[in-house]
Amino acid sequence: MNVSHTQSETFVRQGTVTLVGAGPGDPDLLTIKALRAIEQATLIVFDNLVSEAIRALFPSNAKTLFVGKSKGQHSATQDEINDIMITYAQSGQDVCRLKGGDAFVFGRGGEEMLLLTQKGIKVNVIPGITAASGCTTYAQIPLTHRGLAQSCTYITAHADKQLALNWTALAQLNQTLVIYMGLTKTDMIASQLVENGMDTTTPVAFIENGCTPKQRIFTGQLSQLSQLKHQHQIQSPALIVIGHVVSVAEQMHWLAQLSKRTESHHRIPNALKRSA
C-alpha cells in the first residue's frame, strides 16, 4: 500500500550550545579556542563578569544578549537564561554562552550542561582561566608555595540558603583559601576561621577587578578583613585570599621598592656626567 504525503515535512536543524570560559578579564588570557568561538559566533549570551575589553572582540554581525547577574540585581534569572539557550538552540541557532572565568568553577556551567543535554541539545565546553588562578597570579600571590601552602581551596560564600562549610578544616595551616563572592560576609568569614583555630595575624588580601586595568590589591591580617573592605571601599568583583602566601606578594613589593632606591642611589648625576 502506497502512502502519499500531501504536505512536505519540515525539519529544523538543532543548534549547539558552547559554554565558553572568558577568563578573569584580560583579553590576552583568552584561550585560542575561546577566541575562535567568540569570533565565529552569531549569537552570544554573556554574563556580567565578561570584561569590556573582551566584549570589544564580539563580531559586529553577532547578536548579543546580556544576561548578567550581580549582587541584588539580576537582568535575567537562571531559569530565564536556560529558556533563552534552549529556545535558540531548538530553533536551529548555535549559541555561544560566554561566562567570566571558567564555566565549571562557580559558574553554573555544570547545571546548564546537564539541563541542555536532558533537552537533547548538544553542548560543547571550552575551559577558561578561573579568577582564583588569574587574579592571584597578576597580584603576585602564588596559590601554593614551598613551606607556606601545600594545598589550595576555592570557596564560594554565596549560597541559596545557609552557608554550610567545614570551618575546622578550612582553618588548618599550610593551605591557601580563595573566596569568591565573599564581600558581604567578611565578618562571618573572619569570625568562623578564628573560632576554629586560625591565627588572627594570618595574612589576607583583597583583589578587586583582577586582571583588568582597574585592578586594586589590598593586604592585611585576618583580624582586619572587614576593616580593609570598608577602609578601601572595595567593590565587586573581588576575591579574598587568606593564607601565608600573601606574604610573598608583600615581599615582592618590598623588593621592588628596594630595587628602585638602589637604582636611584647608584644613578650618576647629570652634572657629573657632563664633567666626565
Nearest to 239 by CA among 141, 116, 99, 170: 141
Residue 94, φ and ψ in degrees, nearest 5: -85, 130
Helix, strand, or coil (residue 16): strand
119 touches 112 (CB < 8 A): no
For residues 225 and 239, is the Cβ–Cβ distance under 8 A? no
CA atoms within 13 A on the CB side of 136: 28
Indicate the burial class of 65 (C-beta count within 10 angstroms; 0-12, 13-18, 19 or more).
middle
**C-alpha cell at position 90:** 531548538
Catalytic residue ranges:
47, 69
The H or E element containing residue 232 is none
For β-strands 69-70 and 73-74, DSSP reports them as antiparallel
